[in-house]
A and B are shown apart, each in its own frame.
Chain A
Amino acid sequence: MRWLTLTVFLPLLGIPFLLIPELPDRAARLIALGVTIATFLVSVGMFVKFQKGVPGFQLVEDVPWFEGVGLRYTLGVDGVSLFMVMLTTLVMPVAILTSWSVTEKVKMYVMMALFIEAAILGTFLSLNLLMFFLFFELLLLPMALTIGIWGSKRRVYAAIKFFLFTLVGSAFLLVGILVLFAQSADVLGQGTFDFRRLQELPMTVEVGRWLFMAFFIGFAVKVPLFPLHTWLPDAHTEAPTKGSVVLAALLLKTGTYGLVRFNLGLFPEASDHFAVFVSILAAIGIVYGGIVAIMQTDLKRLVAYSSISHLGLIVIGTFAFTEQALTGSVLQMVNHGLSTGLLFIGVGMLYERTHTREISELGGIAKVTPWLAGVYLVAALSSLGLPGLNNFIGEFLVIVGTFISSHVFGVLAAVGVVLSAIYLLWSYQRAFQGDVPERWKGIKDINRREVLLVVPMIAVMFLIGLFPKPFLDRIEPTTNGIVREVEAAGSADLQTGEAP
């Protein structure tokens, strides 16, 4: 059974149904929900088929497609992409559930969600660089439309900004991919986009470094790393809840995933060479994002800046090149998706009730809606790395692993832990605690649909926090392989006298 093909394209199967004329909105939502849940179940099948403890790609599907330009239809899953896929298929039904509150152009709205899901899954599972790029770009348009059509006040500005930023990054990425193709044509006689063959491709140190930079810029915009991050607060803030959830939980991960998969996987020597540079940017992101988050007056913006800080931690762990740090980083990609996703859901639910995200206008909400406050608090606590919840495992491994490779970066990574407590708890205090203003006295606590929406997220958060071993066991063989590659390349440098 072609598990991966089924996983990637199942979401698209819902689209013909959505095109039925005069389809009621409710039916459209249910169709989308059904399709995304089906996708989740299929991905569970994939998860079951996945053998733990085995490095390298599994369930590979390799079919010739357009051989003349080196394009083959190649899908495969390994320890890094496995949980990215699982995260995607878990978050999408939840994101669709948040769309119950959207009332305009519902059919198109959920259709965009299905396109996004297929594109993200394709991005994570493609082993052919050209195919990867196609999916990577395919993701942009429905996302920008989601922000631009269903967003709030400055939605068009945010959508265009998002689109241009990522497009510029992609341009570098495309050039990198094409140069790599040309290199492979030179060396192998026949050009290829196959990731596994390109990994073996010999290339000079010089070329490797240039290519690293091209790929790096492409992914750094998506992550986003300081100073390429300013699209993120705008996009997050203006997007509808589903958009913010998908942006934070999934879209940003295509960047970090790309760094792990392609930058580390294809250019181990250059990764080692640029590690300090990238780590500095990431460390700036951690501290800068955290400090800027403190003074935000808009809850969504605050969460957006917290994302910048958290993503910095993931990147710093990625470039520490220790087993613990890289494994932690990959796990942290999942964790950030869950906890920040839930934070955005919490803000979204709050917004539906109060129609404001300004912290100063809120206050005392916990008194009228204790369960909603509880959900937000759980998300915040997870986000600030409380042990027992998911983030702690990832953060702990990243901090320890980074510390092992560099004390300075390890300490900087830990600074984020203090800052996250400051901005999250302060905002919680101002928005949820204190006296209730008269006008919020009538708002309702979370309803059944919303319970349905947060429970899976919270359950998985506890699952990872308490039983991370099944996750780590599957991630580790892959990350170990990557770390060994980079270390080998780095030490080869030392022997030839190249500065590491």
Chain B
Amino acid sequence: MTTPIGYYLVLSGILFSIGTVGVLVRRNALVIFMSIELQLNAVNLSLIAFSRQLGDLQGQVLAFFSMVVAAAEVVVGLAIIVAIFRRRRTANVDESNLLKG
């Protein structure tokens, strides 16, 4: 007895939405970062769900792929955040607007 795919997709959707809202409303860079991770993993979840549904391993491969990329991205991202924090003593993203046109 397998769980219908709809459950996974709904869970994935909920997780993604939480992540999105987190990115949009929070100002702390670390929290935003975690929210992004949440979004990534929501997508991973749906990838794996589809993969199982379709009996195709490619989806799981892709999920692994994105996890590896995400890990790399975390390293770089955290390094940037730490560097900014050291310099400015804050992790508030609204205060970093050097790219303002």
**Do chains A and B directly touch (beta carbons under 8 Å) in the complex?**
no
- Which residues of chain A have a CB within 8 Å of any CB of chain B? none
